[in-house]
Structure 1
Amino acid sequence: MARIGVDVGGTNTDLVLECSKGVFYHKVPTTLKNQSIGVVDGVRGICERAGIEAAEVELIVHGTTTATNITIEHNGSECGMLTTEGFRDILHIGRHKRPYNFSLHFDVPWQSQPLVKRRNRISIPERILPPAGLIETPLDEDAVRRACTLFRKRGINSIVIGFMFSFLNDAHEQRAKEIVLEEMPEAYVTISSELANVMREYERFSTAAMNCYVGPKTAYYLRDLDAKLREAGVTSKLRIMQSNGGVSTVDACARRPVRILMSGPAGGVIGGASEGDMAGVPNIITVDIGGTSADISTIPGGAVKIMNPRDTYVSGHPVLTPMIDLVTIGAGGGSVAFIDEAGAFNVGPRSAGSEPGPACYGRGGVEPTVTDAQIVLGRLDPDMALGGDLGLDAQLAREAVEEKIAKPLGMSVKDAALGIIRIINNNMALAIRSNSVARGLDPREFSIMPFGGAGPLHGVALAEAVSARDVIVPVAPGITAAVGLLKTDLQYEHTKAGLVELNKATDQEIERINTVVTTLRTRVQAELDADDIPRADQQLMVIAECRYQGQGFELRADMPEGKVTQDNKRQITDSFHEAHKRDYGYAYPEAEVELITVRVIGSASVRRIEIPKIAQADGTSIDRALMFVRPTTFDDGQTLETPRYDRTKLFAGDKVPGPAILIQHNSTTLVPPGYVAETLDYGNTRIRTLGA
């Protein structure tokens, strides 16, 4: 029984395999033109490394950035939209929010990069009225057919359907979908009530539009990957990591790709939380630094946080789908250093990626990157990258830093390289503060957990910048996100509007809540049934999303066990008051509480990957792990003769004083002077100041 986790990043594709022979790690370059090629090559390679046949693999869990990249690169499908007459410009108007209140020069993403161009938004005569969802104006079916004729003429095959108040009555959206598929059988169709069956028409329409924008390409990639794996002899189940930290099937994610917009970073957060548990550290700030970006998440008390729906924006567009609370910035090993037109020294967000990659890769890249700076400073050994599998050219790195940064700014190559590192570290420190201090959390009570291929080189500097307690380096930093994929459960979610004032709810309204819960439970169970999960193994959680009367957005509250009654409805309001006090510092226990949305989350536990403990220190010297000594430049400008240690040869309890560098196949850990690195029970490492 073998299982593989595959995380595709902008530069490398990371894999972990668990089988009867143990746990194996592997890393291959990402094939940007078609990511599935790199995934298949990686799966074959890690099976060879483990000495097993591809057919022995039972499960593959995949974290993908395909949908995310489409939104970043603005190369999604040309979409058409059917919407209620008079509401054609909802996607343009939005919420009248200014992204930067005091700036005269700002971009409005939903207008400058619309998901559906105005000429392709067709208004349809129809109208459903609140509060009961009664039909005032029947759907004009001929208008829908005429719109389909126009879409065919324009070569549009991805259709969004969003009508006003469809969350109260979806009859018109469902009928319009039937007509579109009659007229355009191959069309990719999304209706807003199936995807985000909640109030707020702008956010609902935007979510449906985003699904159609990324849908065709994402669906093609997922199904193509599934086919390529089978051609390679891998007949296992393929599961996809979702933005909420659960996994789902290829078919479900192909139909609703908005659920996987944060698929890649989510695996890292799950893996980081698990590593924190292994180290006995509940409060951690994960910093996943790959080749292209840095993903940062704060995990208080070991609990992964889910974003409030008001904050779930992707590329400037609201998307009503549950996402792990994280911040992503353009800061990675491939981030390009440059001097802008005003003469300022910048690093990122543009990345050299894997093709051509940093200058040191020798693939034609000539711009200096963070990786090139690390080589110039002696923190990365060109002959040791990926255990020697990736040969790097130190001279090319030095030339790039010198020609593009040092000479134009009149500084030494060493100072230019240090400048690159300091700028990127400051950028990440600002992002860490935005996800901790700005949320009322004190970084001094947290440990920094750096991972990704570049993470452990920056860990101590980031901890110093935000005054974190210490640094915890995972067992396999470069593969942590892939490991997280094998530590998550199967999960589905469905929502429906409730719209009930709880304090004065009538018996009829209480029964309406129970009917909504029953409907959602049935839908979730049907998806789990389709995935061959026995009913006994299905776990269902019902959540009420509530607000004080007149508030703009909701918070999650617990629902009672069983049916809601007049006697137990106070459990919902009490839970909401507690959540409000926890998030905002105050509550109004006597105020009216509105239930806005009911959410049902269905999950099924899967076997988690088990990382074995390593041998305990036996009193022998850490020299058993010593590889060689080379000069290395640290943040204070000192260049010191620095020993390199093979991290895999250190035992639990071993302490390595800085300056030192810990080398392993998938990552490199920097231990500056004045710090000590202690190996923990599972092979993870705690770095703290001497004497702490």
Structure 2
Amino acid sequence: MKRLGVDVGGTFTDLVLWDDDGTITIHKTPSTNEDPSVGTMDGIKRLAQKAGVEPTSIEMFFHGTTVATNIVLEHNGDDVGMITTEGFRDILHIARKKRPLNYSNYQELPWQKWQLVPRRNRRTVPERIDASGAILTPLDEGAVRDEVRLLRERGVAAIAVAFLHAYRNPIHEQRVKAIIEEEFPDAFISLSSEVASQYREYERFSTTALNAFVGPKTSNYIARLVDKASAAGVSDDVHLMTSAGGLVTARSARETPVSLLTSGVVAGLIGGCAIGKASGYPSVITLDVGGTSADVGVAPDGRLRMKHLLDTQIGDYHAMVPMAEVDTIGAGGGSIASIDEGGMFHVGPRSAGAIPGPACFGRGGSDPTSTDAMVVLGWLREESFLSGSMTVQPALAEEAVRKHIAERLGSSLEKAAMGIFTVLAHSMTEAIGLHSVRKGYDPRDFSLVAEGGAGPLFAWHIAKQLGIPRIIVPTYPGITSAAGLLATDIRYEVPTTVWTSSEDADVELLAHEVERLSADAVAQLKRDGMPEEQISLERSVDCRYIGQGYELRVEAPDGEVDADWVKAVSEAFHELHGRMYSQRFDEKPVQLVNVRVTGVGAVPQIKLPRIAAGTVDASAALVTTTRALMWTDDTAEPEWTDTRVYSRELLQAGNEFTGPAIVEQFDSTTIVGIGQRATVDELGHIIIERSEA
């Protein structure tokens, strides 16, 4: 079986073709941001040629995309109308009390400046359902028809429907959907009871509006990709990565595209977890540095952590969809260094992207980037980038760094380049600290998986700063996100709100809802053609102490839902609360707010191939020695040092070497710092250990 993973980033599109015989073929191509499907299909064609196979032989196609995320961040979604309960027109505008500036009466709130739904298009109709699901005011269908016709005349492309307490009883929303299909069949429809069936009106309304905002363009992109893949004979369907770390079919993704937010980002975390487990170090911190951004994730024991409801947002908008805890910052190989009018030194978040790209690419870019800085430092050689398929011009890199940074700061060229690197590395170090130390985890208990084209260039320094004992550099670090897609199962999460307490739990309600959600999850997987023997279920509960404002998600046991089940959930919450906040209150009752069931459709797992075994001596992989600027810590003066350069393709299992060293390969370059020792394991991963660890 041949499986294809495609991860579309802001700068490059990464592709990996996996054959069950152990053959792996990789390819990188510049992203076509105006229509990512163009670059994707061109990359698939070239990848197939490189592998010597026909595209028609590819049986499974897994895809991670930033299309939905970019629409939100760039504020270029479609015109949206909303139909909501009479009297609740301004929930999207009011939002929550939390403000960027708590005590300012004059601040311009971002979600009000860039409105998902303009007020004139937020229409209300008479209807009302209470918190128990009982109908207080019947739906006025005539008013609904009038409002749908008005929105159609105004030219909206999508309609969001969000009624009060629809998570308890969706009957009114479902009736409005039927009316829209009659009156405005071309509209993209987004129902809150289908997109975010949980309590919290503002977050539910915001998520429903976001789904409508990104819906038409994202749905059209998926349709184009599926059509092009089908025309090329690639697979029967395209499976897309969701923000929760699972795959869904193209059909499901087109219905709820809001679930694709942070799609490609999560794939890197999953790929890093698989690599850590295979190398014998399951607890990992992943550092995925691409051309535009850096993604940081923390996975204790190789398990994804889910974000708190308070943190599940994209840009300025709340999105109440399950999201794996991954943080993205504007720091990558294309991050531009600059000096502002006040003389402050900045690196990122502005990026040179793929076009024109860093100055050293010779494509017209003149701003200095972190890639240019590494060329100046001697870490990226002329013939090393993409195995020489892309020419690096050191003179252009030096000119950009000297003109825009060194001369303005009055420093040497070398110190300016070192400054660009360390400023960017500091941003990544802070992001990792935010998700580890401040969440109750010690970085010294983890291994750092260096991913992306630039991750292995930064990892040696970051591990030293945080005291992380080892770095794992995957065999193909530049395509780890694409490979992570191949290590992912099909997953559907179905939530509902229950509102009960461990002190007097409504066990009958809990058992009924778990059974109902389980049936829904299984039905979705079977609709995708998943056989029953490959289906399993996972349970979780959002819990909090009574009086708290937000919940923590804890795993719930299998088996019968009874008093013992509630007790086990409560104990899991006490333990998690103690880890997160250094306090637990075992004597207090636990409030069970939301129950979630995740249906998992197992996809055949890939088996990483072993590489040829060698000896401790790595000299056969040594290609040259170069002069590179190296240092041991932040206070030491950098020095031009004789640095060994190794070819990744020539390294064998068991090889060892010490830093300073550079390891070059098609999709990335790895730096081994002074005093660090590198060992190649049987899977071809480079394990770099710090001498102090």
Q: Is TM > 0.5 for Structure 1 vs Structure 2?
A: yes
Partner residue of 1:348? 348
Going from structure 1 to structure 2, the CA distance change for 1:280 and 1:100 (only over 3 Å counts) comes to: farther
Is contact 2:461–2:673 with CA below 8 Å preserved after alignment?
Answer: no
Amino acid across the alignment from 1:119: R
Shift of 1:336: 0.8
Q: Per the alignment, in what secondary structure is the counterpart of residue 27 of structure 1? A: strand
In 2, Cα distance between equivalents of 1:397 and 1:148 = 57
Q: Does the 8 Å CA contact 2:77/2:214 hold for their aligned counterparts? A: yes
What residue is the counterpart of 1:677 in the other structure? 678
Choose from 561, 573, 578 the match for 1:576. 573
Q: Give distance in 2, aligned partners of 1:556 and 1:192.
A: 21
Distance 1:594 1:282, change over 3 A: same
Q: Which moved more, 1:78-87 or 1:578-587?
A: 578-587
SS of the aligned residue for 1:199 comes to: coil
* Residue identity matched to 1:367: D
Matching residue of 2:153: 153
C-alpha distance 458-141 of structure 1, shift in aligned 2 (>3 A): same
How many Å apart are 1:105 and its aligned residue? 8.8
The residue correspondences of 1:176-187 to structure 2 (distance < 5 A) are: 176-187=176-187
> What corresponds to 1:524 in structure 2?
521
Q: Identify the match of residue 603 of structure 1 among 583, 600, 605.
A: 600
Once the two structures are superposed, residues 545-594 of structure 1 have per-residue CA deviations (whole angstroms, 9 ceiling, x without a partner) of 22222221222344454443356543333333333334333333343333
Deviation at 1:690, TM superposition (A): 4.1
- Confirm or deny that 1:629 pairs with 2:629: no
Decide whether the 8 Å contact of 1:190 with 1:212 is kept in 2.
yes
1:13 and 1:39 in contact (8 A); partners too = yes
**Match in the other structure for 2:634:** none
**CA-to-partner distance for each residue in 1:318-360, whole Å, 9 max, x for gaps?**
2111111111000000111111121211010011111111112
Alpha-carbon offset, residue 537 of structure 1: 1.7
Q: Who is 1:373 aligned against?
A: 373
2:463 is matched with 463
Which residues in structure 2 correspond to 1:178-577 (within 5 Å)? 178-505=178-505, 509-559=506-556, 561-566=558-563, 568-577=565-574
Distance apart, 1:103 and its partner CA: 7.8
1:587 aligns to 2:584 (yes or no): yes
Inter-partner Cα distance in structure 2 for 1:691 and 1:546: 41
Give the C-alpha shift of residue 630 in structure 1.
2.0
Aligned to 1:46: 47
Distance 1:482 1:688 in 2: 26
Question: Which amino acid in the other structure matches residue 63 of structure 2?
Answer: H
CA distance in 2, matches of 1:497, 1:201: 12
- State the 1:102 CA deviation: 7.1
Change (3 A) 1:296 1:691: closer
| Comparing 374-383 and 323-332, the one that deviates more | 374-383
Q: Is the 8 A contact 2:615 2:653 kept in 1?
A: no
CA contact (8 A) 1:483 1:609 kept: no
Deviation at 1:225, TM superposition (A): 0.7
| Structure-1 separation of matches of 2:105 and 2:422 | 30
Q: Compute the displacement of 1:368 (Å).
A: 1.0
Q: Distance in 2 between matches of 1:575 and 1:440?
A: 16
User: Residue deviations 1:15-43, cap 9 Å, x none?
Assistant: 11111361122111111111111111111
Deviation at 1:150, TM superposition (A): 2.2
Equivalent-residue separation in structure 1 for 2:545 and 2:533 (angstroms): 37
Asked if the contact 1:55–1:236 (Cα under 8 Å) also holds between the matched residues in 2, the reply is no
TM-aligned CA deviation for residue 147 of structure 1: 1.7
Q: 2:562 is paired with a residue of what secondary structure?
A: coil
Q: Which residue of 1 aligns with 2:57?
A: 56
- Decide whether the 8 Å contact of 2:61 with 2:234 is kept in 1: no
1:47 maps to a residue whose letter is A
Taking the TM superposition and a 5 Å limit, the aligned residue runs for 1:74-223 are 74-101=75-102, 108-130=109-131, 132-223=132-223
Q: Which runs of 5 or more residues in structure 2 are unaligned?
A: 632-636
What residue identity is the alignment partner of 2:612? A
Residue 288 of structure 1 and its aligned partner are, at CA, apart by: 0.3
Give the residue type in structure 1 aligned to 2:28.
K
The answer to whether the 8 A contact 1:109-1:315 is kept is no
Deviation at 1:235, TM superposition (A): 3.5
Distance 2:650 2:106 in 1: 55
- Deviation track 1:467-525 (CA, whole Å, cap 9, x = no partner) reads 222222111111111111111111111111212234224xxx43333332222122111
TM superposition shift of 1:299: 1.5
**Corresponding letter in the other structure for 1:226:** V
State the distance in 2 between where 1:572 and 1:446 align. 27
CA positional deviation for 1:451? 1.1
Q: Displacement of 1:97 after TM fit?
A: 0.3
1:226-264 CA-partner distances (Å, limit 9, x unpaired): 111122232443111111111110110111111110111
Contact 1:57 1:236 in 2 (8 A): no
State the distance in 2 between where 1:639 and 1:124 align: 72
C-alpha distance in 1 between matches for 2:383 and 2:413: 21
| Identity across the alignment (%) | 44
For 1:220 and 1:675, the matched residues in 2 are separated by 49
Q: CA deviation at 1:623?
A: 2.2
Counterpart residue identity of residue 597, structure 1: N
Change (3 A) 1:503 1:224: same
Q: CA deviation at 1:433?
A: 0.9
Contact kept in structure 2, 1:99 and 1:107, CA below 8 Å? no
Report 1:644-659 matches (<5 A): 644-659=645-660
Indicate the SS of the match to 2:503: coil
Shift of 1:292: 0.4
The 5 Å alignment of 1:18-29 reads: 18-19=18-19, 20=21, 22-29=23-30
Per the alignment, do residues 688 and 235 of structure 1 end up closer, same or farther by CA in structure 2, a change over 3 Å counting?
closer
* Structure 1, unpaired ranges of 5+: none
Q: Which moved more, 1:181-190 or 1:553-562?
A: 553-562
The one-letter amino acid of 1:25's match is: I
Deviations 1:621-676 (A, max 9, x none): 42211212221112442112222110121122211222210011110001122222
**Which whole-Å CA distance do the structure 1 matches of 2:452 and 2:440 have between them?**
27
SS at match of 1:503: helix
What are the superposed Cα offsets for residues 354-413 of structure 1, whole Å, 9 maximum, x if unpaired? 111111222221111111111111111122211111112222222221222222222222
Q: 1:285 Cα deviation (Å)?
A: 1.2
Q: How many residues align?
A: 687
TM-score, normalisation: structure 2: 0.96
Residues 105 and 444 (structure 1), Cα distance of their counterparts in 2 relative to 1, 3 Å cut? farther
Tell me, in whole angstroms, the C-alpha distance in 2 between the residues paired with 1:338 and 1:108. 28
